[in-house]
Amino acid sequence: DTTVKQNPRYKLARVGKPVNLICSQTMNHDTMYWYQKKPNQAPKLLLFYYDKILNREADTFEKFQSSRPNNSFCSLYIGSAGLEYSAMYLCASSSRAETLYFGSGTRLTVL
């Protein structure tokens, strides 16, 4: 079962409020990723967990946090949402950076 699940599918948040997005995979993959997708832009890698080690992109280092309490779950946390965070957030997993398996995404709208 090559399934990555993301919850919720749609999320509405208020400016200044925290946001927590959830992702799970059942393939025992060692790496989980979060990408941000805005219209007419490439999916942008935000961060990834290789096993228990978190790697965050330099230009989004302070904007996003993440946790991976076990191999199957990974969350993406925004401490204080701004309008610029409105986007589709895609979670993916892989084994040894081979094929990425994506969830269907969470569309975040910040008002």
Partner 1 sequence: GDSVTQMQGQVTLSEDDFLFINCTYSTTWYPTLFWYVQYPGEGPQLLLKVTTANNKGISRGFEATYDKRTTSFHLQKASVQESDSAVYYCVLGSNSGTYQRFGTGTKLQVVP
Look at residues 71, 79, 78 and name the one whose alpha carbon lies nearest to residue 53. Answer: 71
Among 22, 27, 50, 65, binds partner 1 (CB under 8 A): 50
Query: Smallest distance from the beta carbon of 17 to partner 1, in angstroms?
Result: 26
Query: Smallest distance from the beta carbon of 85 to partner 1, in angstroms?
Result: 19
Q: Please provide residue 30's backbone torsions phi and psi, each rounded to the nearest 5 degrees.
A: -80, -20
Which parts of this chain interact with partner 1 (CB under 8 A)? 4, 31, 33, 35, 40-45, 48, 50, 55, 90, 92, 96-97, 99-105
